[in-house]
Amino acid sequence: MARRTVSVTTITPTATADTTNLVDSTYPFVLQGGSSTQLNRIWEVNITGQAASSSSPTFMLLARDSTVAATAGSNITGFADAPLDPATVALTAAPLTGDAWTTKPQRSSTLKLLNCSLNAFGGNFFWRANRVEECPAVLGNTASLGEVSLSAFTGGTVGAIGPHMVYESL
Amino acid sequence: MPLLFSKRSLDGFVEIDHRESPGFTEAEAVAAGRSYLIGAPKHFKAATFTCSHCDQVLIKNPLRTRERAHCIQCDRDICDPCGVTLKLTSVCQCQAKRINEFMAQACRAAV
């Protein structure tokens, strides 16, 4: 029942096709349920463009994963997953977030949740749900409902971004 | 005086700020699904809704005039593909139902 924010200070994602392994540290993060019955809801996604010098159309997608990640590794520098409220108590089965896994996640070709495309050279993308019924749900921890990823789709010229996502575990 | 409920109060919010950015060329905008963001400066703000049947977040096109698909069983707006499916099957697959079914299945598996 606590909201958390998962963020990366800066990352230049790699454009990756659907149903292809998302290589470590080339995408911001995945969010996977902490147990087979855990429900997580996504409240907010923000991506701030950080490209320094040239037009960088970056096609970011929040989508469910058809192959879920397994066995966490070391996340990219600047990765953080923190509660919004300092009084938050750690869950017994905390949801998993990160961008480095032994078994790589793969974005589903059909279950896209939010198109977050922006030009990373000076652009900014922000989305927020208003009520809990409007939050996409992450259900359990298996494919395809149990994991979502934020990653770059093919096309464009990806640039550096600083993304964050607010989610709530129920 | 009773407060009037408006379904618009359920809407989410999206903002795409390209005021300090080159934005998208026509080809890039098509590739990104952002035809309203061609060129710069563009500052786009709009309401969004989450399709009750597939969880996809959709921007409410402010220029749309045709009717939006709506499920009277869950009383929520749904996306056009789910609207077609609903018309063909008359089956509501709203988020609450899907969660209930998933949990029931998980409980049965645990027994």
Q: pLDDT by residue (tens digit) across A18-64?
A: 999 999 999 999 999 999 999 999 999 999 999 998 999 999 999 99
Cis peptide before A144 (omega within 30 of 0): yes
Task: Tell me, yes or no, whether B6 lies in a domain.
Answer: no
Q: Does B15 reside within a domain? A: yes
Q: How many domains does chain B have?
A: 2
**By residue range, what is the domain housing residue B105?**
64-111
Q: Which of B6, B36, B50 to mutate to test the interface with A (most CBs of A within 10 A)?
A: B50
Q: Which regions in chain A score pLDDT beneath 70? A: 1
Name chain B contacts of A146, Cβ cutoff 8 Å: none
Q: Tell me the domain boundaries of chain A.
A: 2-169
| Beta-carbon contacts of residue A144 (< 8 Å; ≥ 6 apart) | A64, A65, A66, A108, A111
- Does B27 touch chain A if contact means CB atoms closer than 8 Å? no
For residue B9, the model assigns a pLDDT of: 84
Confidence of residue B61 (pLDDT cuts 50, 70, 90): confident
In this structure, the answer to whether residues B41 and B74 fall within a common structural domain is no
CB A29 within 8 A of CB A47: no
Lowest mean pLDDT among A16-25, A31-40, B30-39, B83-92: B30-39
Tokens found for residue A160 = 């550096």
Q: Is A35 on the interface with B (CB under 8 A)?
A: no
Instruction: Assign A7 to helix, strand or coil.
Output: strand
Instruction: Using pLDDT thresholds of 50, 70 and 90, give the confidence band for residue B62.
Output: confident
Q: In this predicted structure, what is the pLDDT of residue B41?
A: 73
What pLDDT does B1 receive? 63
ipTM topping 0.85: yes
- A53 in contact with chain B, both atoms CB, cutoff 8 A: no
The CA distance from A24 to the nearest CA of chain B, in Å, is: 24
Nearest CA distance, A74 vs chain B (angstrom): 31
> Mind telling me how many Å the CA of A10 is from chain B's nearest CA?
18
8 Å CB contact between A161 and A12? yes
- Burial class, B64, CB count within 10 angstroms (exposed 0-12 / middle 13-18 / buried 19+): exposed
- CA nearest neighbour of A148 among A160, A157, A159, A139: A139
* Cβ <8 Å between B33 and A121: no
Residue B82 has pLDDT above 70, yes or no: yes
Q: Which are the contacts of B2, defined by CB distance < 8 A and separation ≥ 6?
A: none
Residue B28 lies in a domain: yes
Decide: A35 and A62 in contact? Cβ < 8 Å. no
Burial of A15 per CB tally in 10 Å (0-12, 13-18, 19+):
middle
Q: Which amino acid is present at A68?
A: V
Query: Does B76 share its domain with B38?
Result: no
The values of phi and psi at residue A125, to 5°, are -120, 135
Q: Which residue has the tokens 């996640």?
A: A105
